[in-house]
Amino acid sequence: MKRNAILDIFTIANMRKVKMLTSYTANVARLTQEIADILLVGDSLGMVLYNMPSTHGVTLEMMINHTKAVSSVPGKAMIASDMPFGTFEISKEQAFENASKLIIAGANAVKIEGGKEIAQTIVFLVERGIPVIGHVGLMPQKVNIIGGYKKIHSIDFVLDSFKAIYEAGAFAIVLENISTEITNKIADQFPQSLTIGIGAGSNCKGNVAVFEDLLNLSTENIPPFSRVVLDVKQNAQSLIEEYFNRI
């Protein structure tokens, strides 16, 4: 089945909330590719799958391999892959080379964290045919600067970052862990933008969730704005124990 294109995503956004879910493996892709509009191969896989303390240890090779796994599953969902820390900051040319590798691996778009400092990089990528999803607010790759995974309340900082990458050509922008006031201002000032929220209130045109967080399968560091919809961990432990008691 043909993957969603950017125009399809905007059509969906005019009818209902866009659904984005993380997917790091083929098995999860099989479960989610007909539910989600966008499957995100996020660098959060470093923390969720590899028990890393942050996303900083995630390499481009890891992202390529997981993108190949997810994209191997046919389905309608667009596949977006994170550009990990250190793969796009040096130059626009470096960013294009590395983004191209993710596209070749099966991604339909790449996601990049940052604001004004990466605006020209986004322009460079979009002009060369690589769709870009932006990411502002809490940016996990920058936790060493902001002092941890805390809620972002700086209106000017987020608005300036959003404006820069929106005008640079990011077709969608993730808003993470920001105040509802900031989300509402973005909605008022940029009504045509496609905002995808996570811990950003309800006034976004889409939402993104970490699949393992929804099922309580992540590490101990589940963000406070995440919601467990089914405690698979507890249920699985009980069922496995019951299985071994029967054999």
Structure tokens at 241: 């124990």
Contact 24/67 with Cβ under 8 angstroms?
Answer: no
Give the pair of three-digit tokens for residue 2. 């043909």
pLDDT at position 149, please?
Answer: 60
What local confidence, expressed as pLDDT, does residue 35 receive?
93
User: Token digits for 24?
Assistant: 């790091």
Please answer whether residues 37 and 4 qualify as being in contact, where contact means their C-beta atoms are separated by less than 8 angstroms: yes
Amino acid at 211: F
Tens digits of pLDDT across the chain (247 residues): 679 999 999 999 999 999 999 999 999 999 999 899 999 999 999 999 999 988 999 999 999 999 999 999 999 999 999 999 999 999 999 999 999 999 999 999 999 999 999 999 999 999 999 999 999 998 878 766 655 566 777 899 999 999 999 999 999 999 999 999 999 999 999 999 999 999 999 999 999 999 998 988 876 666 667 777 778 878 888 888 888 998 8
Who's near 135: CB < 8 A, 6+ residues apart? 111, 112, 113, 114, 173, 174, 176
What pTM did the predictor assign?
A: 0.92
In contact, 226 and 214? CB cutoff 8 Å: yes
CA distances, 55 to each of 52, 65, 127, 180, 191 (Å): 7, 16, 28, 26, 31
Active site (catalytic) residues: 176
For the chain, which domains are there?
Answer: 6-246 (3.20.20.60)
Q: What pLDDT, on a 0 to 100 scale, did the predictor assign at position 217?
A: 84
The rounded distance, in Å, linking the Cα atoms of 157 and 159 is: 6
* Distances from the Cα of 4 to the Cα of 18, 76, 138, 207, 208, angstroms: 12, 6, 27, 16, 16
What's the burial of 240, exposed, middle or buried (CB within 10 Å: 0-12/13-18/19+)? exposed
Where is 245: in which H helix or E strand?
helix 232-246
